[in-house]
Structure 1
Amino acid sequence: MNWHEPVRTRRPLHALAVLAAALLCLLPWADTAAAHGSVIDPASRNYGCWERWGDDFQNPAMEQEDPMCWQAWQHDTNAMWNWNGLYREGVAGDHRGAVPDGQLCSAGLTGDGRYAAMDTPGAWKTTDVGDDFTVQLQDQAMHGADYLLVYVSKQGYDPATEALGWDDLELVAETGSIPPSSMMPVDVSTSGRSGHHVVYTIWQASHADQSYYICSDVNFG
């Protein structure tokens, strides 16, 4: 560049750089840098949406092929992009007190209601399981766990028409402390179930009083 070139000719380049940086901050996947974790198998509701549509979110086919993800996307796109941030802080173990009936899948409308659509009953995509299966929780931030609690909805509860409540659940697995690890598997044994059910996982992270509340939809074949 000529040293005597007027400074004003460089200002448009500076303005473009600032605009590019601002647009980068608006990219929907930017928040995933603040990663935490979730159940990826059987996929949590919002992880499943991200897995199926994260690289195809503008496809209008989502409305017909995956209507529950579509309604969640319409409510708040960050429910899908921030699939690993569905938690509450300061619960002190009082999970029922912190999360009301009908709001279990949104962790009591945590994140200013970002995940409210997770509570909507409907035809959520399911993962086929047998009576015995393994819940795989991905701990992206290596928080570790004070404990994991895994519940399965009782026979007779219908996820397609009823919002989930505490009395709809049966505790089927519980762990003690788990050191930081990228994956935390929990073996589950059930019986007497068929059709669409909800697996409800509570992950009490060990790095702080941070409680994750995770709904996964399964089909007992």
Structure 2
Amino acid sequence: MFRLVGVLTLLMMLSAVPAHAHGAPTDPASRAYLCSPGQPSASSSPCRKAIQAGLPSKEWDNIRLPNVAGRDAARVPDGKLCSAGLAKYAGLDLPSSEWPVTTLKSTAFTYRATIPHQGSFRFYVTKVGYDPTRALRWTDLEQFLTVPTPPLVNGSYEFQVRLPQRTGRHLIYTVWQNTDTPDTYYSCTDVEIAAPVTTTTAPPRTTLKSSTPRPVPVASSAEQPPSDATRFGMSAVVAALGGLAVLGGIMLWRKRIL
């Protein structure tokens, strides 16, 4: 009897412990991930301040709220987007241009799932003119991608994204809304977006081959067939000469007779 009570008590205690770790962006990495133990960036000034403010750095993948159901702006207040309004993660909301930043080198994003869930992802990027020294607001963000129920690949969700035209320092905001649990996860990722490379491609040069111009052939008069007028004129001349010859012959014949 006592053993049964002990087992039941232990099960109740275990069920009361929240499941640790679920997921967060790792490439480019979220603020929480970059402040986690073992990351060189954990010693940065913003990470140290966040940890001093109570950031549970080992729980970098557990920034979640229950029963949001897509009402993100109603549940997560301006200025607290990176912490999702959770007091223990409030250090992630610290406005600063010193947050560790990832220089984007590709359009491939990775979201590591330490405990996989079904759900959809929404990606936002800060608008042109973003200032990292000001508290982040919903109006600072522009949604650019939604991916419903992506497949899990080697423990992660992978995405090919196409950002709106941006350059310089910006922030990627990721929302993972579960469908198999009531939870929604939030992450802030600081990125540096390189200016698009504009290359002017000169048109191919056309090389003209130098050669001696060939004269345009002109048909000689002997080779050209005579025209109708020419033929008529020549016939007339021949006829006239023939007539003169006949007349001359007649005159000579009469002279002999006389």
Does the pair score TM above 0.5? yes
**Equivalent residue, structure 1, for 2:174:** 201
- Give the letter aligned to residue 176 of structure 2: W
Assess if the C-alpha contact under 8 Å between 2:83 and 2:186 holds in 1: yes
| Cα 1:213–1:33 shift into 2, 3 Å | closer
Q: Counterpart of 2:95 in 1: which secondary structure?
A: coil
Q: Counterpart of 2:21 in 1: which secondary structure?
A: coil
User: Which runs of 5 or more structure 1 residues have no equivalent in the other structure?
Assistant: 1-30
Cα distance, 1:33 vs. partner?
A: 7.4
Given candidates 48, 60, 80, the residue that maps to 1:70 is 48
| Cα 1:37–1:119 shift into 2, 3 Å | same
| Cα 1:32–1:196 shift into 2, 3 Å | farther
Over the matched positions of the two proteins, sequence identity in percent amounts to: 35
**Equivalent residue, structure 1, for 2:23:** 37
Q: Counterpart of 1:47 in 2: which secondary structure?
A: helix
Given candidates 157, 175, 178, the residue that maps to 2:147 is 175
Please give the per-residue CA displacement for 1:24-72, whole angstroms capped at 9, x wherever unaligned. Answer: xxxxxxx997221111111100101115548x97xxxx3xxx1011101
Cα distance, 1:180 vs. partner?
A: 5.2
CA distance in 1 between counterparts of 2:21 and 2:114 reads 6
| Cα 1:34–1:138 shift into 2, 3 Å | same
Higher normalized contact order (CA 8 Å, seq sep 6+, divided by chain length): 1
**Equivalent residue, structure 2, for 1:9:** none
CA distance in 2 between counterparts of 1:216 and 1:32 reads 25
- Give the letter aligned to residue 149 of structure 1: R
Cα distance, 1:93 vs. partner?
A: 1.3
**Equivalent residue, structure 1, for 2:135:** 163
| Cα 1:52–1:220 shift into 2, 3 Å | farther
CA distance in 2 between counterparts of 1:50 and 1:184 reads 20
Cα distance, 1:172 vs. partner?
A: 1.1
Give the number of the structure whose alpha-carbon radius of gyration is greater: 2
The TM-score, its normalising length taken from structure 1, stands at 0.73
User: Which runs of 5 or more structure 2 residues have no equivalent in the other structure?
Assistant: 1-16, 195-258
Please give the per-residue CA displacement for 1:85-143, whole angstroms capped at 9, x wherever unaligned. Answer: 101001121111010111110012x2xx010011111110111015x622211111111
Cα RMSD for the two superposed structures: 2.3
Pair 1:134-2:111 in alignment = no
- Give the letter aligned to residue 174 of structure 1: T
CA distance in 1 between counterparts of 2:190 and 2:18 reads 23
CA distance in 2 between counterparts of 1:32 and 1:196 reads 36
Instruction: Kindly report which structure 2 residues correspond to 1:1-221, keeping only aligned pairs within 5 A, or say none.
Output: 34-50=20-36, 52-53=38-39, 62=43, 66-78=44-56, 80-108=57-85, 110=86, 113-122=87-96, 123-129=98-104, 133-145=107-119, 147-159=120-132, 161-179=133-151, 182-221=155-194
| Cα 1:52–1:133 shift into 2, 3 Å | farther
Q: Counterpart of 1:135 in 2: which secondary structure?
A: strand
CA distance in 2 between counterparts of 1:150 and 1:162 reads 20
CA distance in 1 between counterparts of 2:161 and 2:37 reads 24
Structure that is richer in strand per residue: 1
| Cα 1:32–1:71 shift into 2, 3 Å | farther
| Number of residue pairs matched by the alignment | 176
The TM-score, its normalising length taken from structure 2, stands at 0.63
